[in-house]
């Protein structure tokens, strides 16, 4: 493990670790790291713009609205985007002033640990608290603890139900991003070649391991024959 983390001390080394650990193409791994940096930049920009709001919706009354940290945020992430999904959750939590309990996927923890190590280097001790282990051993005590005020989970629908059930007794604020069944629709006036190239990305990006991957394809009869032939040809040209 130490050797892998040392290898990932550069952006290229980190990208190669993501590629090796998840199986995604190196170009996609590089893109994931770039996107992860954007999340932190955007949240930092929003933090600078954050200010108290003064509202006068009721005659004779002035309402002051100010942002306050909610409390500890539990961040639970999957293996298929081991850096960008944690970044998308951790960055806004930090911008809101919330310390984070971070549990990476036990299937692909190393890429996430590089992110955790990087954050630890630049944040006060205890701001990010990363724990590895079996989900139930780690997450159940978190969700039962009074200091944890929000949980953000990305993963399977099955596990999402378990998280929701554990959060329900305390009415814990819960964000669940679960399995999808996204449609891809090709209309009669579509540019068939363009539609094929778009579907190749929508279906096969990240080796198909994406919660927003196209899982149902609806094609108008007028272009169905040409579309299917072109899509099959394009798919057969892919290099796995």
Catalytic residues: 177, 211
Cα distance between residue 35 and residue 83, in whole Å: 9
- Coarse DSSP helix, strand, coil percentages of the chain, rounded to the nearest 5 percent: 50, 15, 30
How far CA 101 is from CA of 8, 89, 186, in Å, comes to 23, 11, 43
CA distance 68 to 79: 31
Tokens of 99: 């310390």
Environment class of 28 (CB within 10 Å of its CB; exposed 0-12, middle 13-18, buried 19+): middle
Tokens describing residue 117: 């190590």
Nearest-angstrom CA–CA distance, 81 and 83: 6
Which of 84, 119, 79 is CA-nearest to residue 99?
Answer: 119
Euclidean distance between CA atoms 216 and 219, whole angstroms: 10
| φ and ψ of 135, to 5 deg | -55, -50
CA gap 85, 19 in Å, rounded: 15
Under 8 Å between Cβ of 200 and 207: no
């Amino acid at each position: 493990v130490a050797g892998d983390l040392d290898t990932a001390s550069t952006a290229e080394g980190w990208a190669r670790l993501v590629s090796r650990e998840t199986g995604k193409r190196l170009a996609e791994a590089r893109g994931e790291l770039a996107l992860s940096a954007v999340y932190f930049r955007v949240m930092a920009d929003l933090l600078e713009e954050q200010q108290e709001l003064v509202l006068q919706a009721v005659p004779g009354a002035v309402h002051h609205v100010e942002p306050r940290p909610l409390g500890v945020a539990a961040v639970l992430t999957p293996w298929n985007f081991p850096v960008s999904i944690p970044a998308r959750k951790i960055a806004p939590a930090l911008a809101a002033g919330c310390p984070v309990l971070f549990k990476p996927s036990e299937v692909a923890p190393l890429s996430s640990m590089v992110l955790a190590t990087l954050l630890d280097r630049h944040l006060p001790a205890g701001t990010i608290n990363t724990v590895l282990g079996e989900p139930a051993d780690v997450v159940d005590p978190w969700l039962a603890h009074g200091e944890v005020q929000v949980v953000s989970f990305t993963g399977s629908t099955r596990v999402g139900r378990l998280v929701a059930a554990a959060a329900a007794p305390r009415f814990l604020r819960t964000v669940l991003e679960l399995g999808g069944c996204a449609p891809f629709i090709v209309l009669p006036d579509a540019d068939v070649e363009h539609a094929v190239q778009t579907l190749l990305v929508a279906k096969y990006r990240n080796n198909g391991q994406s919660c927003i991957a196209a899982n149902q394809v609806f094609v108008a009869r007028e272009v169905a024959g040409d579309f299917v032939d072109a899509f099959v040809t394009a798919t057969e040209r892919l290099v796995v």
